[in-house]
Amino acid sequence: MEKLKKRSWAEPFKIKTVELLKMTTREERERALKESGYNTFLLKSEDVYIDLLTDSGTNAMSDYQWAGMMLGDEAYAGSKNFYNLEARVQQFYGYKYLVPTHQGRGAEHMISKILIKPGDFIPGNMYFTTTRLHQELAGGTFVDVIIDEAHDPTSLHPFKGNVDLQKLENLVKKVGAKKIPYISVAGTVNMAGGQPVSMENLRQVREFCKKHGIRVILDATRLIENAYFIKTREKEFENKSIAEVLLEMCSYSDGCTMSGKKDLLVNIGGFLALAEHEREVFEEARNMVVVYEGLHTYGGLAGRDMEAMARGIEEAVNLDHIRARIGQIEYVGEKLESIGIPIVMPVGGHAIFLDAKRFLPQLKQIEYPAQTLASEIYLDSGIRSMERGIVSAGRNKETGDHNFPKLELVRLTFPRRVYTQAHCDVTAEAVEAVYEKRNSIKGLKMVYEPKYLRFFQARFEKLA
């Protein structure tokens, strides 16, 4: 008998509660898809079998977090959960000041309103939908300064989230540093495929920005996942803990916006955090949060939600957790790659991104290849994914034309601690089944387009 030589890792948890799933027939899915205008955001959750729409707010909390929920101090002012969260943010992210928000976009709203003046430019390592919208609503213009490799789904660059210093310098030369209030740097860049930024790059960005008096604001939403890539891909950090890497990343910034719904293993919550030298910005945010979110010691959250997030930080920096988290994505990625499915490489931190341009080469971009592919995957198996292509990219704020992004992707996003390896296998098999019939697939036309963040609510019909 052959010996089993390989030593596998397994999830560092066991399951205590389960949520039952409903299976649907193809006819039911056909009806559901038509009723939702071929937009997976408009499907009812009960019609979904495996929900890979997003990793945002869909995490499974631990018993330690649920126990913390019972310790919610629901005082209007000065909840003890706020002080606990503040202490954890100071300990793990290194920022002195904390303003809680209901979720990430609440923090984006405030930092944009405080720092951006009409006519300003905000460079970033690729856009994110809500981040860019808040920058634009504040009168700013987003400028993409990510390295070119990020726009190439086949490039194997280990840090495709890196900022291109030359692009940044060109922008400074063109508009002047005074018109650039800050650069927004995201960890594991979502729209690029969950691609990390290196510590070396963060150091360079910090040095450059310091010289020009430009702030660095991190989008810390998936910074812990980014820290894992730094530990495993940058030699200098192989013996450092995730917490040490995280703290060093944050030390090269002036503050961060955070959607706790991802890295921090909760279902709701976020914050704006600022370094010690940013007291004035903090004071302004602390005042503003009262207008838009709630008092500065709850920011739209219940005390119990802040407690769950504080405890989530402790669990999220655990190496066993993060190895299994990213290991699951790698497992699906390797499976799909081995059968020749076109995906963004290297596989990122929170999702597999299918390359819809190569998957459905017969479709023009205006026939919405990624939107089409997401609806076909649902039709085949009840698995819900998300478009990250031309629909998500929206329209140019000056000309009103569609933005035509280079990347036309479908995101299969894995919630943390929710699905098993068998769910992963079923997912890979569903994608394979759609790939086998790819030549017969027709595109979509948009029949309803909302004004803001259109991907959430747009409706489509099948092309004849």
C-alpha 439/C-alpha 321 separation (Å) is 40
Least Å distance, CB 6 to ligand PLI, is: 33
Binding residues for ligand PLI restricted to 25-54, rule: CB under 6 A: 54
Binding residues for ligand PLI restricted to 110-129, rule: CB under 6 A: 128
Nearer to ligand PLI, 24 or 102 (CB): 102
**Residue whose token pair is 């704006």:** 272
Least Å distance, CB 253 to ligand PLI, is: 15
Least Å distance, CB 154 to ligand PLI, is: 23
- Asked about 219 being catalytic, the answer comes back as yes
Nearer to ligand PLI, 40 or 54 (CB): 54
Residues 6 or more apart whose Cβ sits within 8 Å of residue 217:
111, 115, 182, 183, 184, 185, 253, 254, 255, 256, 257
- Asked about 455 being catalytic, the answer comes back as yes
Q: Return the H-helix or E-strand segment holding 217.
A: strand 215-219
Least Å distance, CB 3 to ligand PLI, is: 42
Strands (E), 43-96: 50-51
For 47, 162, 385, 405, 415, the CA distances from 144, given in Å and listed in that order, are 37, 11, 26, 12, 28
CB half-sphere exposure, 19, CA atoms < 13 A: 13
C-alpha 132/C-alpha 141 separation (Å) is 8
- Could you tell me the two tokens for 58? 């869909």
- Asked about 129 being catalytic, the answer comes back as yes
Long-range contacts of 208-213 (CB under 8 A, 24+ apart): 208/165, 208/168, 208/169, 209/183, 212/172, 212/177, 212/180, 213/177
Binding-site string for ligand PLI from residue 126 to residue 165, where x marks contact by CB under 6 A and - marks none: --x-xx----------------------------------
Q: Binder to ligand PLI among 24, 39, 40, 56 (CB under 6 A)?
A: 56
Least Å distance, CB 435 to ligand PLI, is: 24
Secondary structure letter of residue 405 according to DSSP: -
Q: Binder to ligand PLI among 196, 270, 300, 346 (CB under 6 A)?
A: 270
Binding residues for ligand PLI restricted to 164-203, rule: CB under 6 A: 186, 190
SS3 355: strand
- Asked about 262 being catalytic, the answer comes back as yes
Q: Binder to ligand PLI among 51, 219, 254, 387 (CB under 6 A)?
A: 219
Nearer to ligand PLI, 411 or 435 (CB): 411
Nearer to ligand PLI, 191 or 363 (CB): 191
Q: Binder to ligand PLI among 253, 259, 375, 385 (CB under 6 A)?
A: 259
Q: Name the one range near ligand PLI by CB under 6 A: 100-108, 144-152, 232-240, 395-403.
A: 100-108
Q: Which of 24, 54, 101, 129 is catalytic?
A: 129
Residues 6 or more apart whose Cβ sits within 8 Å of residue 176:
none
Single out the residue of 166, 153, 254 nearest to residue 195, CA to CA.
153
Helices and strands per DSSP (H, E), number in the chain: 16, 14
Q: How many residues bind ligand PLI (CB under 6 A)?
A: 15
Q: Name the one range near ligand PLI by CB under 6 A: 102-110, 163-171, 271-279, 393-401.
A: 102-110
SS3 383: strand
Nearer to ligand PLI, 100 or 104 (CB): 104
Q: Name the one range near ligand PLI by CB under 6 A: 8-16, 34-42, 101-109, 140-148.
A: 101-109
- Could you tell me the two tokens for 442? 């027709």
221 binds ligand PLI (CB under 6 A): yes
The number of angstroms, rounded, from the C-alpha of 15 to the middle of its chain's C-alpha atoms is 26
Q: Which of 219, 263, 305, 355 is catalytic?
A: 219
Residue nearest to ligand PLI (CB): 104
Single out the residue of 351, 318, 327, 346 nearest to residue 427, CA to CA.
351
C-alpha 394/C-alpha 132 separation (Å) is 11
- Asked about 388 being catalytic, the answer comes back as yes
C-alpha 352/C-alpha 44 separation (Å) is 23
Nearer to ligand PLI, 260 or 342 (CB): 260
List interacting residues with ligand PLI (CB under 6 A): 54, 56, 103-105, 128, 130-131, 186, 190, 219, 221, 259, 261, 270
Residues that are catalytic: 76, 128-129, 219, 262, 388, 455
